[in-house]
Structure 1
Amino acid sequence: MWPSSTLLPFLYTPPSSAYVAAMSVVSLVSLANAGLAELRGNHMAYSKFWHVVSGAGATTTNQRQRGGGALLKSRDGMLVAYAPALVAAAASFAVPGAVDGARAEILSAALAIHFLKRVLEVLFVHRYSGSMPLDTAVTIGTSYLLSTVTMIYAQHLSHGLPDPPIDLLYPGVAVFAVGIAGNFYHHYLLSRLRAGGGGGGDKGYKIPSGGLFELVVCPHYLFEIVGFFGFAMISQTLYALALATGTAAYLTGRSCATRRWYQSKFEEFPARIKALVPFVL
């Protein structure tokens, strides 16, 4: 049995669902562990860190030898990662009883907007210079799909339960809006850096500037975390909070790895620029 929600007055009482309970633990622990792996230099095979920091081969042949599987163009790989979750969030409105009440509708809409933004960024904003192993794309896509479905399902199970004493629904909408807008803006700034970067490799990378890039190397991750806590505030379920906390742990690790990468590639990298949180971290 879960403890009473009076311990956390901003959460619904967790449902008696072994699946949701297990997913809450798995999401938090696995994402936190992935963040630690980033700090240790064990990076997922979809970014510049895999090739440069981890010392993986730079060529397609070497990638195949290391990964032992098929490669996708990075753009296609990210579509595989994001599209299933988008479809699931949008489809929840068509499943009878899946979306009950204003809170559930807003949550599903926010999830659909989040992944639609990601898909549109893949198609029209991001610049790519490498490949992604198929198994990595499928793993990421499965993770996003499961987290989206579980968040919607946990919200469905809370229907009819007493509302939490502290209602965070509409503040959560505002937090989510800030997160998605800030994340998009800084992704746009990154894309402009690489628009004329040439044919890939290290030559396509520059020290980011503009926006919060003047203070941290990963403001897009900072706003991604803000967006996930927006989900948690909208939902007010334990699973959404666990997912947001795990996401924050993972992206903190990636941000520190990113800062370390920039320091290794650019002698003039400013020491005043933090990894994720201005003036702090």
Structure 2
Amino acid sequence: MPAPGPYLWLVLLELALAVATVVGLRFLTAPYGRHGRPGWGPTVPARVGWLVMESPAVLWFLIVYLTGAHKAAVVPLVLLTLWQLHYLQRTLVYPLLMRTGARMPVSIMAMAIAFNTLNAYVNARWIGDLGHYPTSWLADPRFLAGTVLFLGGLAVNLDADRRLRRLRGPGETGYRIPHGGAFRWVSSPNYTGEIVEWFGWALATWSLPGLAFALYTTANLAPRALANHRWYHEQFPTYPPQRRALLPHLL
């Protein structure tokens, strides 16, 4: 548990945002991607939006981490590598592979920037400065299980994104039913994978800020997975009935 003070309040703020997010997303679906719609103000190309809004998770995280007392320690460096493995892909690679023409409301981008700035700070400050991770932590079952979950979730996430991109040929628009991989069981395995990733991070770091991020990710992505699942059924009468939205055989 972080010591009382401004840092703890920032972590508690993230937990409160998770609650507010899951409540708010019961009544509306964020207007980007297949759920894009007018009425949310000016927009930017989706590629630009993703690059800008995810950048704090790479750059600000690194800056905060490098101010920490444990920045050169082995375990914090391993945790830094895991974090950057996800966010370098999400910030630099993912936008470049997006289809051209898609747009994103500036309001969505701004909210993501604010959250990523907060989240990067509390997690980087913890692993680089406030947390205690002796080298023996690399053999701790919590670290090992968390790392397996993180890398497994990342693999599911990347595979799902690849399958979604391949649904369209050059110049094609519109949506199709995705198949293969974890799409055999759920409609949004990209979200399932990302949620698993960050619960793996929470376990590997064994920290309140890590748990706050995992809970926020679930609060943000689970409602969207449910919305995607409804959308698929509305758009495709032959949509596989055995699929669930997020968790195989459960949800």
* Deviation digits for residues 112-154 of structure 1 (CA, Å, limit 9, x no counterpart): 1111011233344332542112232122022112201211112
> Hey, what does 1:5 align to over in structure 2?
none
> Hey, what does 1:61 align to over in structure 2?
none
Please, which of 107, 121, 132 is the counterpart of residue 149 of structure 1? 121
Cα 1:26–1:197, aligned 2, differ >3 Å: closer, same or farther?
farther
Please, which of 209, 212, 227 is the counterpart of residue 239 of structure 1? 209
> Hey, what does 1:45 align to over in structure 2?
31
Report if aligned partners of 1:172, 1:232 keep a CA contact under 8 Å in 2: yes
Please, which of 81, 98, 107 is the counterpart of residue 135 of structure 1? 107
> Hey, what does 2:175 align to over in structure 1?
205
Find out whether 1:222 has 2:192 as its counterpart: yes
> Hey, what does 1:71 align to over in structure 2?
43
Please, which of 12, 16, 35 is the counterpart of residue 29 of structure 1? 16
Report if aligned partners of 2:47, 2:96 keep a CA contact under 8 Å in 1: no
**Matched letter for residue 153 of structure 1:** R
> Hey, what does 1:177 align to over in structure 2?
151
Provide TM-score, normalisation by structure 2.
Answer: 0.87
Cα 1:48–1:36, aligned 2, differ >3 Å: closer, same or farther?
farther
**Matched letter for residue 237 of structure 1:** S
Please, which of 83, 86, 92 is the counterpart of residue 120 of structure 1? 92
* Deviation digits for residues 256-278 of structure 1 (CA, Å, limit 9, x no counterpart): 11101111111222221100011
What is the alpha-carbon distance in structure 1 between the residues aligned to residue 212 and residue 66 of structure 2? Answer: 27
**Matched letter for residue 208 of structure 1:** P
**Matched letter for residue 187 of structure 1:** D
Please, which of 250, 254, 257 is the counterpart of residue 224 of structure 2? 254
Report if aligned partners of 2:161, 2:190 keep a CA contact under 8 Å in 1: yes
* Deviation digits for residues 174-216 of structure 1 (CA, Å, limit 9, x no counterpart): 2211111111111000111134462x4xxx1111111111111
Deviation, structure 1 residue 96? 5.5
Deviation, structure 1 residue 171? 2.4
Deviation, structure 1 residue 172? 1.8
> Hey, what does 2:7 align to over in structure 1?
20
Cα 1:205–1:38, aligned 2, differ >3 Å: closer, same or farther?
farther
> Hey, what does 1:272 align to over in structure 2?
242
Percent identity between matched residues is 26
Deviation, structure 1 residue 167? 4.9
Single out whichever of 226-235 and 128-137 deviates more from structure 2: 128-137
**Matched letter for residue 194 of structure 1:** R
Deviation, structure 1 residue 217? 0.2
What is the alpha-carbon distance in structure 2 between the residues aligned to residue 37 and residue 264 of structure 1? Answer: 23
> Hey, what does 1:54 align to over in structure 2?
none
Single out whichever of 116-125 and 76-85 deviates more from structure 2: 116-125
What is the alpha-carbon distance in structure 2 between the residues aligned to residue 185 and residue 22 of structure 1? Answer: 37
Report if aligned partners of 1:106, 1:234 keep a CA contact under 8 Å in 2: no
Count residues with an aligned counterpart: 247
Report if aligned partners of 1:82, 1:141 keep a CA contact under 8 Å in 2: yes
Unaligned runs of 5+ residues in structure 2 are none
Provide TM-score, normalisation by structure 1.
Answer: 0.79
**Matched letter for residue 249 of structure 1:** A
What is the alpha-carbon distance in structure 2 between the residues aligned to residue 245 and residue 251 of structure 1? Answer: 10
Mark the structure with the bigger radius of gyration: 1
Unaligned runs of 5+ residues in structure 1 are 1-13, 52-56, 58-65
> Hey, what does 1:109 align to over in structure 2?
81
**Matched letter for residue 99 of structure 1:** K
Secondary structure of 1:194's aligned partner: coil
What is the alpha-carbon distance in structure 2 between the residues aligned to residue 26 and residue 93 of structure 1? Answer: 20
